[in-house]
Amino acid sequence: MNWNSTFESVSHALGQVVASDSKGNSLDIDDAFALLVDWISACRENRRRVYFVGNGASASMASHFSTDLAKMGNVPTEVFTDCALLTATGNDMGYDQSFAYPLGQRMVEGEVLVAISSSGNSPNAVEAIKLARKLFGRSVTFTAMSSDNAMRSLGDLNFYIPAETYGGAESGHAVLLHHLIDLFGQGTP
């Protein structure tokens, strides 16, 4: 594999991004971003939070974009990347509860959960999405790899990139999330 093949692979995957609603209906990508901006703007206006979760590199992205949204969009955000919180919750309640447990203590109706996972099958993100629905929050997923991943069918809004590698998935998710932040940074909302 050379640089051009990597670039072309990521570029091709970005050109094939699919946005869908909770019923699996495809949405125009710009309409999907507009809906997400509306949800986040409502959080900002009502002093509600946008939560971010992810595993591994996706946890770093969750932290990065939570910070960017707070700074660029003046939106209250929270990310569950604290080492003590993750390890205590994982040890005492099971790793699949490492996001759901703290989310259950905080989320109120109308808040938004952004869940990022390259595989789309991360048990802790899946459980957080399920809990967000029970708490009358909204969930947004950013997934890749298998088109039938678990998270893609759970979110109220889903962004799927057909990347086949972790590098392609993570690079694609970064582009999608930067686009979201840029919408706030340009004063669009």
Mean pLDDT, range 4-14, rounded to an integer? 92
Mean pLDDT, range 144-152, rounded to an integer? 96
Residue 1 clears pLDDT 60, i.e. is over it: yes
Residue 64 clears pLDDT 70, i.e. is over it: yes
11-48 pLDDT, tens digit each: 999 999 999 999 999 999 999 999 999 999 999 999 99
Residue 187 clears pLDDT 80, i.e. is over it: no
As a CATH number, domain 3-185 is: 3.40.50.10490
Residue 185 clears pLDDT 80, i.e. is over it: no
Look up residue 28 and give its two tokens: 């125009």
Please report, for the chain, the start and end positions of each structural domain, with discontinuous segments joined by +: 3-185
pLDDT the model gives residue 184: 83
Residue 129 clears pLDDT 70, i.e. is over it: yes
For the chain, the average pLDDT equals 95
Mean pLDDT, range 64-73, rounded to an integer? 96
Query: How many angstroms separate the Cα of 105 from the Cα of each of 41, 98, 101?
Result: 23, 12, 7
